């Protein structure tokens, strides 16, 4: 699968998850980074996209930016190893699940992360088709991902660059 295809799938999931977090007032588009860098908070919300458990998590990266990640079709109970009993102890607040990437195919349909600018504008940082990192898309999920209807961003842009 091409990088551009993976980016497109993650963008679709990110917009849906971000819209939901904004609507439920979990993420504030006008929020500011906290002055005390020691108290940065990791937060997350569970939701359902296309009938699949989805996690959106975010972290205040400073300078009024958030690192936002989406994990779609997240099923930690499908972990096939002895680690299964430990995966439930980890809160879903990191860019990717805290297991070796080789296990992603068992527990994830797709995941990806981006940085979100709130100071100079409201947008996902990066050029179109190059906004996301830590991208994973399970080949078996493509059919389902294609069937998910796209949403329009609510109050932000899907790409942009910081101009200070």
Give the tens place of pLDDT for each residue, 38-64: 556 889 999 999 999 999 999 999 899
**Is the predicted pLDDT of residue 147 greater than 70, yes or no?**
yes
Q: What is the pLDDT of residue 98?
A: 87
pTM of the model: 0.92
Please choose, from the candidates 61, 44, 64, 56, the residue with its C-alpha nearest in 3D space to the C-alpha of residue 122. 64
Please choose, from the candidates 164, 113, 104, 162, the residue with its C-alpha nearest in 3D space to the C-alpha of residue 138. 104
Across the chain, mean pLDDT equals: 91
**Is the predicted pLDDT of residue 108 greater than 80, yes or no?**
yes
Which residues lie closer than 8 Å to 130 by C-beta, 6 or more apart? 7
Q: Can you tell me the mean pLDDT for 4-30? A: 96
Longest dimension (CA), the chain: 49
Please choose, from the candidates 56, 54, 75, the residue with its C-alpha nearest in 3D space to the C-alpha of residue 66. 56
Which residues lie closer than 8 Å to 161 by C-beta, 6 or more apart? 125, 126, 127
């Amino acid at each position: 699968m091409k990088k551009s295809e993976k980016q497109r799938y993650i963008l679709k999931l990110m917009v849906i998850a971000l819209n939901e977090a904004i609507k439920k007032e979990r993420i504030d588009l006008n929020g500011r980074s906290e002055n005390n860098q020691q108290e940065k908070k990791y937060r997350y919300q569970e939701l359902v996209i296309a009938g699949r458990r989805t996690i959106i998590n975010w972290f205040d990266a400073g300078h009024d930016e958030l690192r936002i990640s989406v994990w779609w079709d997240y099923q930690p109970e499908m972990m096939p190893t002895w680690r299964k009993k430990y995966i439930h102890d980890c809160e879903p607040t990191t860019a990717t699940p805290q297991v070796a990437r080789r296990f992603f195919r068992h527990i994830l349909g797709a995941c990806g992360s981006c940085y979100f600018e709130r100071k100079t504008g409201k947008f996902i940082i990066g050029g179109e088709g190059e906004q996301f990192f830590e991208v994973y898309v399970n080949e078996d999920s493509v059919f389902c991902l294609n069937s998910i209807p796209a949403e329009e961003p609510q109050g932000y842009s899907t790409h942009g660059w910081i101009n200070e």
